[in-house]
Structures are given as C-alpha cells and as structure tokens.
Amino acid sequence: MTSSARRLFSTWRALHHDNPLGLPKRGEPPVMPRRSLPPKRGIPNVKRVVAVASGKGGVGKSTVAVNLAYTLTARHRARVGLLDLDIFGPSIPKLLGLEAAGEPHLTSSGALIPLTNHGLPAMSIGFLLPGPERPVTWRGLMVQKAVQQLLFDVDWRGADPDGPGLDILVIDMPPGTGDVPLSLGQLVNVDGAVMVSTPQHVALADVRKGIAAFQTLSIPIIGLVLNQSCFFCPSCNTPHHLFGSSDASRSLGVKLLGELPLMPDVSTSGDAGLPYALFSSCSNTSGAAGYRWQEAMFGITKQVWEAI
C-alpha cells in the first residue's frame, strides 16, 4: 500500500465515528423540549358540540349536517347553530342560501357575528372569501389558524351581547383525517360525532378510518347515517339498493342511526338553499321516498338529541 493510500484510510478511520456533530459525550443525550397541548375547552356560548364527518368526500355529509341542524331546531325547540369547518370546500353558504349575504359583521370586541337563514345561525370560511369561486390555497399552519378563529372567535349570541347562545353547535367537518379534525379533537370538548357514508365499500373503508381517528382523540361516536341507501321507483314505490345493502355498514362496529333514501328533491332543494327537512314539511310531493326520508331524519335527530 502506498503512503498516500495509507494516509487516506487513516483519515477516513479518524472521521468515521458515531458522533458526527461533535457533541460532548457526558451524561445523557440532550432532549428536545416538547410543547404540551393546551387543555380542551368549550366553545364560547355553546353548550353542546356535535361533529358531522365522513372520512370520504361526496357522500352528502354537508346536506345531512344542514338537515340535522334544522330538524333539531324544529323538533326539539333547541337553539342550534351550524359551523362549516371545510376550509377548502365550504358548502354551507350554498345549502343555506347565503352565498350573496355578504361578509359577517363584527362585535365591538372583534368577534364574528353568524349569518342566519331558515332560523339557523351559521359561520363558514365561505362568508369571508371574495367570491364563491375563489379557491383557498393555504398550507397547514394557515388552515390551523383559520380553524381556531372559526372555533373561538365567533359570537354565537349574535348581535345581542346578552343573548342566550346555542344549545347545540353542529360542525360540518371536511373529508379525511387531517389538520382540521386533529385541531378540533385536540382543542374542543366534542360531545359526539355523527358519521355519514353511502353503502359502497370504498366509502365505508374511509369512514372506518374516520371512526378510528375520532376514537384516538377520545371523541364519542354517536352512530352512522347511511345516506343514499336506496332508490324508490316512482311508479311502484319499490326500494332499489343501487349502491349495495346496509349489511356492510354493520361491520364498522357503531350504531346505525338511520338510512336516508336517494332522492332528487334533496339535491334540488339544497341547490336552491333550502334544507329538504324544511321543504318536505311544507310539501309532500315525493311520495313514499319523501315519507321514508323524513321519518328516517326524525329518528336520526331523536337519537342524536338523546345521546348528547
């Protein structure tokens, strides 16, 4: 071996050690400090919090949330509000007919005052955007900040500082198990979660993950709403299970609160900014399907009311 080669290997052996940063080898290795999470707390002027989630997008979660909130108000005479936490795809302004309502006013202390329609006070990031077609292109930290402001900087007493606040706040969650559900579960005392799914296995698989995420965050699961469970033929009133039966949903290990049939009127009324629960109470033009949907929603609402 030449002298230059010996010098190379000698240098390599000197530099190849288990402490490449040159930290002093005395005592235990340094430990990075960890910031503990703040304790969970209630939302100001709100007695109970119910999250409506799915894990899967496109299953009708927002529609269920709106109709659940309205039915809780109509059937149980509760003061109910609706909070849209879907930062990237807010649907509540459309479903409540508030797209053109303008920005919310502020209280003297700078809190947001909810907008109201059909007797439901609501708050959404959609009310704060320049237009309904403007996308939200934020990274995680900005999303978390927006979520915290929507949770804690809204005055649910409305314009009256001496108002009673809400008995129940229904929160419309975004799909998935990312920043928003994590922030909610770590910051807020949530009284229960209602999971929404369609009967397909691909939807139920994501709902299963959503259930596991809520359980990890110690959020009680009230049960599952199976949306678009069947279609009633208008000529024979026979139910057809277009997306499969409800049997697969029973493997989730949660209570099946009810099955809502697939109905064009639910979509039409939602696009018009009118909750179908309100529409169906004024008109009974949907036949057996409308009756079945209404009775199922009444049963779901009753079970949620009893659970919280």
CATH number, residue 151: 3.40.50.300
Distance of CA 285 to the CA centre of its chain: 31
41 within a domain of the structure (yes/no): no
40 within a domain of the structure (yes/no): no
Enter the pTM of the model.
Answer: 0.84
90 within a domain of the structure (yes/no): yes
19 within a domain of the structure (yes/no): no
Written as tens digits, the pLDDT of the chain (308 aa) is: 555 545 444 444 544 555 555 555 655 655 655 566 678 999 999 999 999 999 888 899 999 999 999 999 999 999 999 999 999 999 999 999 999 898 999 999 999 999 999 999 999 999 998 877 788 888 888 999 999 999 999 999 998 888 999 999 999 999 988 889 999 999 999 999 999 999 988 889 999 999 999 999 999 999 999 998 877 777 777 777 777 666 667 788 899 999 999 888 899 999 999 999 987 655 555 677 888 899 999 999 999 999 99
148 within a domain of the structure (yes/no): yes
Q: Are 294 and 277 in contact (CB under 8 A)?
A: yes
The parent domain of residue 140 ranges over 46-307
**DSSP for the chain?**
--HHHHHHHHHHHHH--S-TT----SSSPP----PPPPPPBPPTTEEEEEEEE-SSTTSSHHHHHHHHHHHHHHHH---EEEEE--SSS--HHHHTT-TTS-PPPB-TTSPBPPEEETTEEEEEGGGGSSSTT------HHHHHHHHHHHHHSB-TTTT-TT---EEEEEEEPPSSSSHHHHHHHHHB---EEEEEE-SSHHHHHHHHHHHHHHHHTT--EEEEEEEEEEEE-TTT--EE-TT--SGGGGGG-S-EEEEEEE-HHHHHHHHTT--HHHHHHH---SHHHHHHHHHHHHHHHHHHHHH-
User: Number of folded domains in the chain?
Assistant: 1
Instruction: Using the Cα atoms of residue 85, residue 87, residue 89 and residue 90 in order, give the sign of their dihedral.
Output: positive
17 within a domain of the structure (yes/no): no
